[in-house]
Amino acid sequence: MLDVFLNRLFRRHGAGHRPAQPSRAERGVPVAAAAFAYRPALIEELEREHRALQGMFAALHRAHRVGDVTACIANLQLFTNLLRAHLLKENLQLYRYLEHAHRRDRAAAQRLAALRTEMQAIGSTLSTFASAYVNASWDERRRRQLGRDLDGIGRILAQRIATEEHVLYPLYLPPQDQR
């Protein structure tokens, strides 16, 4: 499942799929322009990834609730990998485009910088959270702490998804629709 997700995330294809497309340089698109290319399906992809993250987080929460430490660790690793891939995609494809598209709008540029900084802080928080549990020895005290941490992480995740979908993603417009 993770391989399929990562392949879709980075648009990799195995044998039997579409043939490799010529590079942007081979098609005559300047490399600098390629770094800021608009992708019409990007927001839909990111929103699907949000639903996958929410589902994986719910599975982690269920595993914790029934006391299945092995499933907790496995789900935590999957959730963390999905989240890191999602954040990387946003960083490389969404934020780069938005920063380029809104480079002349000082207020929008500041808002984007703040959102990006928040995204990086959330990524750091989640990495610390995952590291604290994945390679740790488990006992009843650690299991109870995970429950408290899951509540906080769940609130952070829900708030961030809402911010992205209602504030950030509407800024992602085709070049001809930018201010």
- Which contacts (CB < 8 Å, 24+ apart) does range 108-114 have? 108/171, 112/168, 112/171
* Nearest CA among 44, 37, 47, 49 for reference residue 174: 37
At 6 the pLDDT is 43
The class level of CATH for 37-177 reads mainly alpha
At 25 the pLDDT is 46
Structure tokens, 23: 């590079």
| pLDDT tens for the 179 residues of the chain, in order | 545 444 554 444 444 444 455 544 455 444 444 567 899 999 999 999 999 999 999 999 999 999 998 899 899 889 988 988 998 899 899 999 999 988 888 998 898 899 889 888 888 887 788 778 877 788 888 888 998 999 999 998 999 899 999 999 999 988 877 76
At 34 the pLDDT is 53
At 16 the pLDDT is 44
Report how far Cα 4 is from the mean position of its chain's Cα atoms: 16
